[in-house]
Amino acid sequence: MLGWVANTLGSAAVGLIVGFLALAVMSVVHRFWPGRRVALDSGRH
């Protein structure tokens, strides 16, 4: 059980790191290429 929790937390940590990296990359893309915002935004957020 605790192993599963640790695995879940580890996966979530990787998700957060990659997610925020992707967010940073997309912010830069949006700043220099604002026209792409509409196409990249799925509407789910």
Partner 1 sequence: MSAGLFGLLDDIAALARMAAASLDDVAGATAKASAKAAGVVVDDTAVTPQYVHGVTAEREVPIIKRIAKGSMRNKLVFILPAAMLLSQFLPGALTPLLMCGGTYLVYEGAHKIWGAIRGHGEHAPPSAVQGPDAENTVVAGAVRTDFILSAEIMVIALNEVAEEPFFARAVILVLVALGITVLVYGVVALIVKMDDVGLALAQRDSPFSQRFGRGMVKAMPTVLNVISVVGVAAMVWVGGHILLGGFEDLGWHWPYGLVHDFEHWAHVWAHGWALDGSAACWVGSRTHWVRLPSG
Residues of this chain that interact with partner 1 (CB under 8 A) are 2-3, 5-16, 18-20, 22-23, 26, 42-45
3-state secondary structure the chain: CHHHHHHHHHHHHHHHHHHHHHHHHHHHHHHHCHHHHHHHCCCCC
Whichever of 2 and 32 has its CB closer to partner 1, that residue is 2
Q: How far is the CB of 40 from partner 1 (least distance, A)?
A: 10
CA distance 5 to 22: 25
Provide, rounded to whole angstroms, the least separation between the CB of residue 35 and partner 1: 19
**Nearest distance in Å: CB 16, partner 1:** 6
